[in-house]
Structure 1
Amino acid sequence: MLKRITITCVIWWLLVLNLAMQPVQAQSDVLDRILITVNGSPITESEIEQRSKFLIYLTSDGNQSSLTLDVARQRATDDAIVFRLLQQRANEIGIGLTLEEIDERIALEFESRNISEDVFLSDLSEHGFSIDVFRQTVSETLLRDKLVQQIVTPRILIRDEEIDRYISINQESFQPVDEFNLSVIVVSESLSMNFEQKQLLRQIVRDIEYEIDRGSDFYQVAIAASQFEGIQAGDLGWVRTGDLDPVLAQRITPSKVPQIIGPIVSGSNIFFARINDHQTTIGPELPFVKELHLARIVLQASNQAGSEVNAEQLENLRRTILNGGDFGEIAKVYSHDSSTKQQGGDMGWLPEDSIPFEYLRPLADLEIGDVSPVQQIENIVFIIQFRGIRDASQEQRKRSVVRNRLRNIKLRNEVSNWIDELRETAVIDYRSVF
């Protein structure tokens, strides 16, 4: 029998999200007591029982769960309340899920965990659970992720001073690292080769060395050599010093790039390397980051009625811009954003990962020069002009790494605070207990 620990690793991460399953259908309206209501939405005894059993299943190692029944019920009750709050909030702002999204997430889970779907579903069935239970668990996780992305993530502000402080404290993590762009010719002797084949390879090595010494083009030599069995040639791209063969790393002289080195013996291989280029990068692997050039016009009101008036006014301004009006001049006259008003709404070049989600969302369908439809966040309405895009500098890529680290640290606390806010404003009525 498949061990519990193997199966539960597929969905263990779901537990920490404090989410669980949708209410199950009561077998009897008489027997299925309503234990709690959350803003009028009932949580029944059968749902808590089902959630409790599933939590015990997930935390079982095959023989025993790390949760007692009482603890499982407490967690299941809390999970049910949180899910009601999330579901109600999603309905308020129009967030939903498609079957395709759910199926895609399930497929990714099985693929990433390298566990057969048939084996997993068989184990679920053996313990009294259906695929619908798992689908619902995944659905709740997806819904939570969408809500967090739209509501919580925009709250997280990472200031430049925080990034500077992090880099200052963690200087060792950002020490310069040499990278080299390489092309290689690799000659490999295999145990299956006979004496004549090995002799031929050794002669080819001498021929390659001769051609390189006389100044022949490395790429032409590589193409000719790669026609023979046991010889491979190609570009390796950018490789960090620490990932190079130690003998090769010792023989590279950055100031002499481009440089050809070889032959170098490494195990059963003999290789030649052409060092095409050299660059110095920052310690951690830096992601490729884009910078966007944006401008905005913002109108802010003190209440919803004022926002509706502003939205209509901003739509008229947008039409004026689309008909040839100057975005910058209109921003200087009408925008309420004091930080960009005098610059004609210009926000400058911004790393993509530092731009709030509500600004990125309307950019998805825009070309350079386009203006977004009117967007609204509470009592603020705005339009965005997409002015340009470029690759971020190495320094900005480094700061992007730090920004993401700090954002992930803050996100956990923000999610917890947000759920607490939902609880505080909800009407939760505990009607009965087990």
Structure 2
Amino acid sequence: MKYPFVLSPLAGLLVFVLALPIASAQQLGSAGLGSFSLGGMSSQNQKPQSLDKIVAVVNNDVILKSELDSAVAELKQRNPGEIGQIPPNVLRSQVLDQLIMRQLQIQKANQDGIKVSKAEVQQGLSRIAQRNNMNLQQFTQAVAQSGMDMSQLRQHVRDEIKISKVRQKEVMEKVSISDQDVDRYLQNQSLRFSRNHQYHLRQIKLDLPAGADSTTTGVVRDRLESVRHQITSGKTSFADAARSLSQGSHAADGGDLGWVSGSSLPDSFDSALAGLTAGQISPVFRGPDGLYLLKLEDERGGGNDQSSDDQKKVMVTEAHLRHIILKPNEIRSDARTRKLAQQIRQRLLAGDDFAALARKYSDDKATARQGGDVGWIPLNRLSPDTRRHVENLHKGEISQIFQTHDGYEIIKLIARRQRDETQEAKRNKARETLGRKRASEQGNLWLRKLRDEAYVDIRMPNYQPTPGSP
């Protein structure tokens, strides 16, 4: 069986990250609105321009010098340390590349007829407000006080959601991981979790702020992709590049991490090393606190000697439940529905049969015929409110009436048990790792295809194309 790799259209607004697979999200230009700050969209965007030049033509659209100036200024304001090390003309070229790719994705979304509702824009704004430690009303007032244009911000949010949706349609929905893929991955990776298997690694790390936006991530990634291109083409060595560029703690040693135990590697490193042999260099990938390149110098060690006692077990609490759901409708008002729920609960407490009342009254047609039996459900898959009510119940006990998005619900706890999900969790982790890697690869191909098929006329003076970029 194959499983699609799915990302919510709003996932990009939370960065990253996500639920978005991390590697693919960065390369695809994740929305990054969760990191929005009130200083981010400079008020200079609103100043009239006496003379504005076209710096790029992208199919039937144009990118103006004022847009490029604003994007560069915003990037410098958010990341003064990292961005300050890049020569100005190289920085402007890289930011222009990101603006072009962003425009191409918006154009593709429009061509595909992708729509963004007012409610989705409102949700996006609410998430930005939350990341700025405000409610939506406070955030709206702060935007107005800063001199920013709220309508411009709404359009920015709308465009980012469009990009997220078109990525979902064109890339994520086409990525699937089969059970056989997972089997092969676990077999190939088994040594990586061995206590006595070690890797001699070098790394180049560029810092990236938590929740970095798409422009920041794209510029830093382009810089590291350019370095990778120089290394693989023989223009410089990995060690020399690490000494001059890396912001990791081992930069002075040419990025040499020495021998590292496979069991201590972060998940992102594990994925990047998959399939590498001695002397090879990984793709650019998102790791802890930044973007990374790895070089596998050598590896050593034997088979997997971990005992079952050494492996961390994943235990999940499950509950066997029956429920009754009552939904307000055109005939039965909310007040009458709640009153009926109260009457039913009183009958249950008096000893009436739960299954019989569920068959007669429950509006959940999928379970009503089974007497409201929903079977065994892991508690971590229930909504927070439902989970809280279930956790407070003893075997055979009836819950209080509580409201969900479906209506009014009453639950009976039949039994509770612990189930070992260690192997399932291991397979899920492998599936996510494979999904991130495959989505990154497919995302690169899709972006490159967008650029190759587009008419792009760059008119920026002294533009320098970024090696390795789409």
TM-score, structure 2 length as denominator? 0.39
* Larger of the two Rg values belongs to structure: 1
**Which structure is higher in RCO with an 8 Å CA cutoff and minimum separation 6?**
2
